Amino acid sequence: MTDTTAWAETTRRTISDRSGAITQQGNIRELAWLPVIDASGRRLVGLDELFTRAHLIERIDVRAPIEKAGVLRFLTTVTALIARAQGITKRSAEAVVTGGFSPAAIAQALDAIDDRLWLVHESTPFMQEGRYAKATSSVKTAASIRSTSPGDSTKAWWGRPGDGFATGNVCFTDAPAVLMGFWFYSVNGNGAAVLDGVSLAMQGSAAGKVKAAGVRLWKVGENLAATLLMNTPQVWTAGLEVPAWAQTLSISGQRDPLVAATITGNAALLLSGEVDGEVMFTGAHIGSVLRRGIPPTESDYAAVQAAKSRNKASVAANRTLGAGEIPTPPETLPLLGVDALKASLENAWRQDPQLVLRKQDPKKKAPQKDEDIRALNDVNAGTSVLHNLRAWYLRAFNPDVPGRASILMREEFSTELFSIQLKQKGSYGELAGASWLSMPPGTVGGSPAVQAALTKFADYAYERVRSALYNAVRTVLHDDDPVAATHEFALARFSALADDVVTDVIAVSLRGEEFTSEHVRLWTNAAITAFDDAVEPYVNARRLPDIASARRNLIRVLNQTESEK
């Protein structure tokens, strides 16, 4: 696409008003925007083709981690609408995997929400807030709503190749995925749009709260149809509601499962322009979304006024109390508008259908804290496959993996784990990173023999090495230098050096076999090299004796571990 003529040809439907001004443009049903992998290779498709050929498509191929997560979440919500129209149940789901979705059901579902699928629309643009056309805020760059997370990798959850996702404009073919990532996984912030004199600040999405940081598990099947059905809750197909992004909610406290799972606190309006003859988005308004959040109703306002009246009466009555009489405490006023929306999002992450929960600690009797509920929430820039295997099997493994309530049930599946890391920055959240880790069938949720083999491996290959490396680093640096940071670097280096042996041990474990002495020897050598690399910046004449002593002890401990095997 190099000029506006080519663009108009690819969109097929561009609607203008009587003056010739474009009012609707870029319907994502037809626009070829979503990269997929099928028998012909990598190509771009629209929603109609995607669902018609889902049983012939291997997978989607979106690069940016948060955008990939947003696209998958969006596609499962559409899958729910198609499954509802087709009457797909757990019993009939396997037939869809082999034969495909019904063309009639696809058309029925997409026709019902067609006016919400236009990237440019006079009132209801796709995953945008049409009212912001009248906003008076300064215009930000269009790419300011795009994730700046690093590229994904099948070898590690974290990598920093640099991608430039957050600079410049956004072309039409990139816009749908950008909007989906923003809708489902954006954080709260101090950006706002001013509409009718009211500043609407960013409130964040359910998954964009710092307390929602952690891992989401996606089951992967032999084709895209299987993947979508394995990750779409059956409960989403009940009732008549459509997702929050496809409607203007008019009832406060919406609790329909499909609506509750798709509410966000952020909204944007992309502003189109022309750059070098190509139509693209060049700017954006960003703020809170009320029309698609939980807006107040007349009864809400009436409830607030009634509560205020009762509080006023209580204050007057309390003034006349006699000695020993207990005053009436004031009522908490019902939440309206942005406050109601913020309240609805606060704990919505707990209902995320892909959320990985940590196994319950039988020794803890008190209510679980957020960090005790989330699994794998300690991932950082130095983590790897090995680290995360350790975290999964020793700290988080839960036989009740997500997806048991999905339309399609499978005993064995490939797994992709989406990790989103957030940190608090003042009163706002900040994205620290995000990525994906692929695990072969059986690694998660497989047979007891496989789980036992991987648990033992995680214990040997990580827990003992971690402890030994810490003691060695501390021997060199004592307590006056950056022991924790150097230890973290050593672990990251060890994980990278041990990558090949980790891959082989996983393959062995999936056959129900245990790792061998040769595997232990290889990761022992990796640990020793990691120690040498970590303390290299601190090598000097004064520290040489400590380094030699620490290295001898490290080798001794690791060799003891090897002899146990």
pLDDT digits (tens, 9 = 90+) for 27-52: 999 999 999 999 999 999 999 999 99
CB 59 within 8 A of CB 247: no
Instruction: Give the span between the Cα atoms of 229 and 43, in whole angstroms.
Output: 22
Contact 262, 245 (CB under 8 A): yes
Residues ≥6 apart with Cβ < 8 Å to 41: none
- Low-confidence winner among 72-76, 382-386, 450-454 (lowest mean pLDDT): 382-386
Kindly state the tokens that stand for 544: 């040489």
CA 448 to chain centroid, in Å, comes to: 29
* CA 45/CA 36 separation, integer angstroms: 7
Residues 261-293 pLDDT 10s: 898 888 899 998 888 888 889 999 998 875 444
Count of residues making up the chain = 565
pLDDT of residue 89: 94
Residues 6+ apart with CB under 8 A from 537: none
Token digits of residue 461? 């290959």
Q: Which residue has the higher pLDDT, 330 or 439?
A: 330
Tell me which residue of 513, 434, 565 sits closest to 160, measured CA to CA. Answer: 434
Quickly state the pLDDT bin for 166 (edges 50, 70, 90): very low
Round the average pLDDT of the chain to a whole number and report it.
81
Per-residue pLDDT, averaged over 107-127, amounts to 95
CB atoms within 10 A of CB 445: 24
Q: What is the pLDDT of residue 381?
A: 42
Interval 517-535: pLDDT, tens: 888 888 889 999 999 999 9
Give the C-alpha separation, 287 to 191, whole Å. 6
pLDDT in tens, 193-251: 888 787 888 888 888 888 888 788 899 999 999 999 999 999 999 989 999 899 876 55
Does position 333 have pLDDT exceeding 90, yes or no?
no
pLDDT class for 107, splitting at 50, 70, 90? very high
What's the confidence (pLDDT) of residue 369?
74
pLDDT single digits (tens) 353-376:
988 777 666 777 777 777 677 766
| pLDDT score recorded for residue 156 | 34
Distance between CA atoms of 473 and 495, rounded to whole angstroms? 16
Task: Please determine, for residue 385, whether its predicted confidence score (pLDDT) is greater than 70.
Answer: no
pTM tops 0.85: no
Rg, C-alpha atoms of the chain: 27
pLDDT, residue 56, reads: 98
pLDDT band of 384, cuts 50, 70, 90? low
pLDDT band at 474 (very low <50, low <70, confident <90, very high): very high
Query: Where is average pLDDT lowest: 2-16, 121-135, 146-160, 232-246?
Result: 146-160
Give the list of residues 6+ apart from residue 557 with CB closer than 8 angstroms, or none.
464, 468, 471
Q: Which residue has the higher pLDDT, 395 or 23?
A: 23
Place of tokens 């129209």: 85
**Phi/psi of residue 380, nearest 5 degrees:** -140, -175
Which residues touch 299 (CB under 8 Å, ≥6 apart)?
Answer: none
- Residues 426-468: tens digit of each pLDDT: 777 777 777 777 777 777 776 777 777 777 777 777 778 888 9
Is the confidence at residue 69, as pLDDT, over 90? yes
Domains annotated on the chain, with CATH: 447-565 (1.10.132)
Intra-chain end-to-end CA distance of the chain, in Å: 60
3-state SS of 502-518 is HHHHHHHHCCCCCCCHH
